[in-house]
Copies of this chain bind each other. A is one copy, B any other.
């Protein structure tokens, strides 16, 4: 519980949620702290009771969600008897579903943090790098067991994979591409197929039954 009024409302959370909506709508740089306070229905000063600065709000939003993703990737990687391709599919699913369920939050994270990492402290870069490394680990395991090519490093592969997904989300965010439920599901398969299987046709890949 927090707050005196016994209304059972966590004002801190209220402010964070309002910030998601405001940052998504107007952009972090183009909105005022008063916009966030108004959206949350609290006094201007209360924002500074809970947060040190406007930027700290953004940091919290990012770290909160990014950590969820890092945890998810670790869990996915720990699954036994699962192919690298299926692990990458699970990672892509997690990210795409995050966007599907909380498009405003993901928009803020991608547009204001991930894709603007220079304007902020190096704090975020370390976290972003962590994601790369976890994905790279999945690929490196597959390189070791021979299912993935050994001449493309895990790090490089992670960049391509994450880059493709981020571009996909950006296309949705900037409305370059429609937001339909089928699109989300199709995109999961397609991105994995494009990155793992490649764009080129596979002329007579012998006996292996890949994707039907």
Q: Looking at the complex, which one of B147, B156, B204 makes contact with A194 (CB distance below 8 Å)?
A: B156
| Cα-based distance from A30 to B55 in the complex (angstroms) | 14
Q: Which residues of B contact A125 (CB under 8 A)?
A: 174, 176
Are B149 and A211 interface neighbours, CB within 8 A? yes
| Cα-based distance from A201 to B85 in the complex (angstroms) | 12
Known contacts A119-B30, A125-B176, A174-B117; is-contact A200 B197 (Cβ 8 Å): yes
* A66 at the binding interface (Cβ < 8 Å): no
| Cα-based distance from A198 to B202 in the complex (angstroms) | 10
Are B159 and A171 interface neighbours, CB within 8 A? yes
Interface positions of A from 27 to 80, Cβ below 8 Å from B: 27, 29-30
Q: Looking at the complex, which one of B163, B200, B206 makes contact with A149 (CB distance below 8 Å)?
A: B200
Count class of interface residues, chain A: 35 or more
Q: Which residues of B contact A196 (CB under 8 A)?
A: 198-200
Copies of this chain, how many? 2
Are A152 and B199 interface neighbours, CB within 8 A? yes
Q: Which residues of B contact A147 (CB under 8 A)?
A: 200-201
Interface positions of A from 126 to 162, Cβ below 8 Å from B: 128-129, 132, 139, 142, 146-149, 151-152, 155-157, 159-162
Are B211 and A151 interface neighbours, CB within 8 A? yes
* A111 at the binding interface (Cβ < 8 Å): yes
| Cα-based distance from A205 to B107 in the complex (angstroms) | 41
Q: Which residues of B contact A166 (CB under 8 A)?
A: 163, 167
User: Which 6 A-B pairs have CB atoms at the shortest separation, nearest pair first?
Assistant: A198-B198, A163-B167, A115-B115, A160-B164, A163-B163, A163-B164
Binding site for B on A (CB under 8 A): 27, 29-30, 85, 107, 111, 115-119, 125, 128-129, 132, 139, 142, 146-149, 151-152, 155-157, 159-168, 170-171, 173-174, 176-177, 187, 190-191, 193-206, 208, 211
